[in-house]
Amino acid sequence: MPPASDTRQSIIDAVLRIIGHDGVAAVTNRRIAKEAGVSLGSVTYHFATQHELLRESLLHFVAEETRHFTALADACTDERFDIGQAAEVVAQVAGGNAFDSRHIAPFELYVQAGRDERLRAAAAECFAAYDLLAARILTRLGVPDPERLAAAAVALVFGQQLRRLATGAPAEELVDALLVLTQLAPAPAE
């Protein structure tokens, strides 16, 4: 029998896959057990309520995203960082051309956080990591007032990603939109 932490992680991974495939409403203990390859009793043993399942799944996703985006932000400190490197980072953020459940689940979780204020702190933590990455990229590109523009850049990325998921638009549109944003930034006051 796998250790409890492995079982718990299998359950969380299953919840994220289910959310990505069929939405939050499809998350049932029976479906989780089947998807995770664990007993129904294991699901209820590790998570007493649906809210706890969703919260822990969102927190797990946030922890992974925060680590990933913080590492990307840390890599944006090279003095030679240029618009080409920024475009590569944006392409990584955009997730390439994949339209799988991993790219859909976050939108479902964020919408759920909008409905359930108990999930909002976890969502805010993830957006703080996104803002940090955006501010660092904008700083490296010499964009004035990068901290002020970071949230707008993140909103643009999310909007473009949602558009890609809904329409199949190519990732290049996201990169183009961000390049336009950096060019529209006001010049610093002298």
Q: What tokens does 87 get?
A: 């475009």
φ, ψ of residue 143 in degrees (nearest 5): -75, 130
Residue 182 confidence (pLDDT): 61
Query: Three-state secondary structure along the chain?
Result: CCCHHHHHHHHHHHHHHHHHHHCHHHCCHHHHHHHHCCCHHHHHHHCCCHHHHHHHHHHHHHHHHHHHHHHHHHHCCCCCCCHHHHHHHHHHHHCCCCCCHHHHHHHHHHHHHHHCHHHHHHHHHHHHHHHHHHHHHHHHCCCCCHHHHHHHHHHHHHHHHHHHHHHCCCCHHHHHHHHHHHHHCCCCCC
Per-residue burial over 14-33, b if 16 or more Cβ lie within 10 Å, else e, is: bbbbbbbeeebeebebeebb
Give the position of tokens 């949230």. 151
What does each of the 190 residues of the chain score in pLDDT, given as a tens digit?
556 689 999 999 999 999 989 988 999 999 999 999 999 999 999 999 988 888 888 888 878 877 877 777 777 666 666 667 777 776 666 665 556 676 788 888 888 889 888 888 888 888 888 888 888 878 877 888 889 989 988 888 888 778 878 887 776 666 666 666 666 555 555 5
Residue 161 confidence (pLDDT): 79
The residue among 122, 104, 101, 105 whose CA lies nearest residue 113 is 122
